[in-house]
Amino acid sequence: MATTLRQLVGAVQIQLKQLGDDRQVPFPLITQWCGFFTNRYRYEKYKTTQSGNYLAIYTSIPVVVPTSSTNPDIVSGRKYIVFPATIFDYSNDDGVHYISYTDFDGACQPSFAGVKFTRTTPAKAKRLYMSTYETPTPDNPYFYRVGENVYLLGIENITVNYLEAGLITAFDPFYTGSLDDELDLGEEGFDYVIKNVLDLGRFMLLMPEDRLNDANEDLSGPAVPGQKLVSVNQQPIQTE
């Protein structure tokens, strides 16, 4: 049975309790740390493997057509979609694996095998309209990203109500239900997350408590470690 985030956090919390200190690291804080290092591992892992293990497919993403302009970003009549989840901010928006729509009603192929959008930027888009072969059209559409909004070029004069997108999404440990979702880290990923979270937990428990909390005049306390057991800059295990 695959490990869930709740089980991972619980295992770390038990190990930290075995240090023999009366203080404890709160469950939500350990959860936040696990989420941080999980995302760090996933971010680096995908860069080296391009694994489909981190691809999330979203269907029926509504195309928004604003009727008025609102600063910032919203321009009247300029079609766009909103990311349904937070993606990793890779170079050239590589966190967007694809955006597509079915080219006609009743088509046999899935949406991702239909018409795909090509990435561009507002600065580069002007040149596209100067080329017969690159002009944005319903058969050759483009997208550009502004924050969480993805603007669409080439489908201005046709009706497209929904799009499909394949996204490389970040892990949100506090998303509803995510504590009991299976983690897709693999054994080497769990090792990376656990080592780093335990390191932070030990460091926190070894810090002297503020004497204002308990009126204790003894400032000696346990010695603060001069060196971290596992560097927060440690890279995940590479597969190449």
pLDDT band at residue 240 using 50, 70 and 90 as cut-offs: very low
The answer to whether residue 224 sits within a structural domain is no
pLDDT exceeds cutoff 70 at 103: no
The answer to whether residue 72 sits within a structural domain is yes
Any idea which residue has 């060196």 for tokens?
Answer: 227
**Of 2-11, 27-36, 41-50, 58-67, the least confident:** 2-11
The length of the chain in residues reads 240
**Calpha distance 234→41 (Å, rounded):** 10
The answer to whether residue 132 sits within a structural domain is yes
The answer to whether residue 15 sits within a structural domain is no
pLDDT in tens, 193-231: 999 999 999 888 877 665 435 555 555 555 545 455 554
The answer to whether residue 125 sits within a structural domain is yes
**Calpha distance 143→234 (Å, rounded):** 35
**Domain span including residue 160:** 54-168
Structure token pair of residue 40: 């760090």
**Calpha distance 113→57 (Å, rounded):** 13
DSSP 8-state secondary structure symbol assigned to residue 92: G
Number of domains forming the structure of the chain: 1
The answer to whether residue 66 sits within a structural domain is yes
**Calpha distance 33→50 (Å, rounded):** 25
Res 218: pLDDT: 56
The answer to whether residue 176 sits within a structural domain is no
The answer to whether residue 197 sits within a structural domain is no
